[in-house]
Amino acid sequence: MDNRSGKGLSFVRRIYLPRILGMAIGLFSVMAAMAPLHPPGWIWALMLANGLLWPHVAYLWAKHSTAPYRAEQRNLLLDSLMGGFWVAAMHFNPLPTVTILSMMTMNNVAAGGKALLARGLLGQLAGMLLASAILGSGLQLQTSALQVWACLPMLALYPMALGWVCYHLAINLADHKRQLSALSRTDSLTGLLNHGSWKDLLLLKFQISRQQRLPAMIALIDIDHFKAINDTYGHVVGDCVLRHLSQELQRSLGPDDQAGRYGGDEFCVIFPGADQARAGLAMEALRERVNAYRNPQLPMLRISLSIGLAAYDELLKSPEHWLEHADKALYAAKHQGRDQVSFNHGPAAPLRLAYPD
């Protein structure tokens, strides 16, 4: 939480503008309540400094701290201390008192929950005791019309400003949650769906095809002699080959098609609503583009693909059964010379997890 470039500074920035607004409009409430008491000049100077200068001092203090988050929580406790100070200094005038204390409490709950709320209440109490010790105690139980009007901007504007900040925080948290969800479903090297996410999608598409009697195809793709590429050129080049294939694969697919990394050098594709002709053309185009890849720095490097395609059939018992059909087609492509697209036309063979290089 507490770092110089992440959440700590973000927390400091979120508090800055609401503090500027809250202190500025809260100043009117305090001044209106203090005026009938004829306080000394230094109290007026302290009011102005607290209302107009303190937000900027607090921001710079926390921003340049080695622990911005803790520094900002300290600033919030100082806000509470000064809030309690002004409440006692104005002799607990009812409306300004409730206005200031409720806004301070709202701040503390929003920023730190029960823990900061409890510390903030102690800070307010300490501020009240400090003001009573310096200025003396008293009660001003009548609220004038001027004091009512002076409190209205705080009551109307500050909750809206705090709500706006909380709304944007909620939006940012939702965005982060979506990003984390996407990362958990994505293969970090290729940017495609990972094995588990693609299998979940396969189950969904299988159920849709069965319920709505829609055509669909799946493909299993294997890079020929990938182990030899790794052994000859190294794993860095091997990773580049995997990324290149994933990029070409994404270019080959339609908007509804979904590709994933099945594991190692094996990739997989779902073609919802596609027949054998469309899926075959897409995979043949992919095979040709990958086959044509040349790297000037590695002139001997060649990449070829073996691809197995299987159509959805009402006789399929499960998504795994469908995968077995694609697996059989891929195995056939390997044994017929590699660098080709093969279609499954017979009963499924047991699912294989590795193929001869």
Which domains are present in the chain? Answer: 7-183 (no CATH), 195-343 (3.30.70.270)
pLDDT for res 34: 93
pLDDT for res 90: 94
Of residues 354 and 26, more confidently modeled? 26
pLDDT for res 182: 67
pLDDT for res 214: 92
pLDDT for res 351: 40
pLDDT for res 352: 42
CA dist., res. 290 & res. 310, Å (int): 21
pLDDT for res 322: 94
Share of the chain above pLDDT 70, in %: 93
pTM of the model: 0.58
For the segment 225-248, the average pLDDT, to the nearest whole number, is 93
Query: Does residue 17 surpass a pLDDT of 90?
Result: no
pLDDT tens profile 294-327? 988 998 999 999 999 999 999 999 999 999 999 9
pLDDT for res 183: 65
Query: Does residue 179 surpass a pLDDT of 90?
Result: no
How far is residue 84 CA from its own chain's centroid?
Answer: 38
For the segment 21-29, the average pLDDT, to the nearest whole number, is 90
For the segment 59-68, the average pLDDT, to the nearest whole number, is 91
For the segment 225-237, the average pLDDT, to the nearest whole number, is 92
pLDDT for res 3: 52
Q: Band of the pLDDT at 4, cuts 50, 70, 90?
A: low
pLDDT tens profile 138-172? 888 888 999 899 889 888 888 888 788 777 777 87
Tokens (6 digits) for 120: 């903030």
Radius of gyration of the chain (CA): 34
Which residues, at least 6 apart from 58, have a Cβ–Cβ distance to it below 8 Å?
A: 19, 72, 75, 78, 79
